[in-house]
Amino acid sequence: MRERMLAGEEFRFDGSFAADVVRCRELLRRINDATPVRDDERDGWLRELLGSFGEGSNIRPPFRCELGFQTYLGKRVFANFGLVCLDTAPVTIGDDTQLGPGVQLLTPHHPLEPVRRRERWESAEPITIGRNVWLGGAVVVCPGVTIGDDTVVGAGSVVVRDLPARVLAVGNPARVVRSVVD
């Protein structure tokens, strides 16, 4: 099932994920329990957990993710308290992006059909967030979404479709309300 997930196919969590889940949970425990004087160690654990953790990046605890190794942070990314990243598909966050408190990046889909949902089948689509993006507090980004460079998403918005570069989007579902210019 793990290989199916990595291939972008429908899957169910089973024993093939056991080592990944244990590794992720143990590293998250260390990351989230680290005292401020252990920030260098915490950053080392984030580099170990994530697919990449760019120079100068900072994730404030608590932080939660599904697997870790499919999350890629560029340089100087800042994630405020309470980031949730369900990374059963790749999550890519570009350089200089800022995430407000309580942001959720959700790659999984669950079937609408009751029998398949009860059998715990799921699939996932990647999330890609460009460079210098700002996601306000409690923004939810849904599976398969790409957000363009320099875009701002207002607090509490739910992003269900791609957003172009250099726009302000707000609401549920998030809608572009204007361009962002220097």
Q: Hey, which residues are catalytic here?
A: 110
The residue assigned the tokens 């460009």 is 130
Pull the structure tokens for residue 27: 């590293």
Transcribe 59-83 into DSSP letters: EPSPEEESSSTTEEE-TT-EE-TTE
Annotate 47-77 with b (16+ C-beta within 10 A) or e (fewer).
eebbbebbeebebeeebbbbbbbbbbbbebb
Interior angle at CA 11, CA 119 and CA 22, nearest 5: 100
